[in-house]
Amino acid sequence: MGSGPPASFVLKMGMNLGNTLFELTERFPPRSWVTPLFEFKRGHIGGMIFGAHCSTAGGFHRALQRGLGLGCEVVQLFVKNNMQWFGQPPAEGDLRLYANEIASGKLASVFGHTGYLINLGGPPSVNRDKSVKSLVQEIGFAETLGLPFLVLHPGAHLGQGEEQGLRQIVAGLDEVFAATRQSPVRIALENTAGQGSCLGWQVRHLAHIFQRVKKPGRLGVCLDTAHFFAAGYDIRTRQGWDQAIGEVEKLIGLDQILAFHLNDSKTDLASRVDRHAGIGQGKIGRAAFAHIVGDERFAKHPGCLETPKSADLHEDAENLAVLRSLLPNRKPSSPVRKKLPS
């Protein structure tokens, strides 16, 4: 692999409200909705490509370095502090280092996850207004980072009822897309466990949003295995997995699936409680992930861990090794033990 940046990328400088920003953009349009950030070059054999959510502590480039240290092919990150409404644009120096990591060609895909305060499904309120503005800002940051999409929890109705909550989500997304009409960044709606008043735990909720937003082309889907299970979809068998995916295909379309969150569940089937576990350490079980990650329909789709981890991240390395061992034509592998950035 050459040391220079891929020919398909260009780094360009712009100005935004007095702040110097950089945009990492693809020179050529993607060939499909699931085309990675840049071409995958590792001789991958069937099934998904794996990675983890990585901390941006110390800069966005550090998230990529952490992922590479774990042997990730995919990295998910937050574009700002996930527990604050608003943040500062990525710093120029950080973006230069980030661009260097991207240009190395060692990662197949990098995408974002929105902050946890955002709730488009709530009733009219100050926080509902902040949610719209916060998501608009995050889309701007994601575009600066060259991310193709942001994963979003659809929202919670907070007592209004399912129907009104879905209306609010549609209206909120319409506002956001109108404010970011020039942006290529898509929103990948994530299925949820259905805890509390959270919407999105049934595939029909996501389909409802797709059918009613003014710009459905700005949407996609991210499917979380732990959320599927906790919501009542028994994906432990191949038949159950196919039924769940069949519902997505019928109501939304497989071409809208942009990524997967690969998590086991600490809670029982249909518990409606969102608690993640390491692969094979929860109620879904290791065997089920073989038919999930080996599903040929999703070859080269990003599959990202959001499982419990300690400071040294050894759990991520171990979970990635388990996932790779379950791929067809793959022998069991040992966890990557590189020195990881702190």
Provide the residue ranges of all domains of the chain, joining segments of one domain with +. 9-325
What was the pLDDT predicted at 37? Answer: 39
- At 81, list the tokens: 């502090």
Rounded Cα distance, 162 and 132, in Å: 19
pLDDT of residue 139: 99
The pLDDT tens digits for 199-249 are 999 999 999 999 999 999 999 999 999 999 999 999 999 999 999 999 999
Q: How far apart are CA 257 and CA 322, in angstroms?
A: 23
pLDDT tens string, the chain, 342 residues long: the values are: 333 333 233 333 232 322 223 333 332 223 222 233 333 334 345 689 999 999 999 999 999 999 999 999 999 999 999 999 999 999 999 999 999 999 999 999 999 999 999 999 999 999 999 999 999 999 999 999 999 999 999 999 999 999 999 999 999 999 999 999 999 999 999 999 999 999 999 999 999 999 999 999 999 999 999 999 999 999 999 999 999 999 999 999 999 999 999 999 999 999 999 999 999 999 999 999 999 999 999 999 999 999 999 999 999 999 999 999 999 876 555 565 455 555
Distance in angstroms (rounded) separating the CA atoms of residues 16 and 83: 24
Its sign, for the CA torsion 168, 85, 265, 36, is positive
Which CATH architecture is the domain 9-325 placed in?
Alpha-Beta Barrel (3.20)
CA distances from 338 to 65, 67, 71, 201, 335 (A): 11, 11, 8, 38, 9
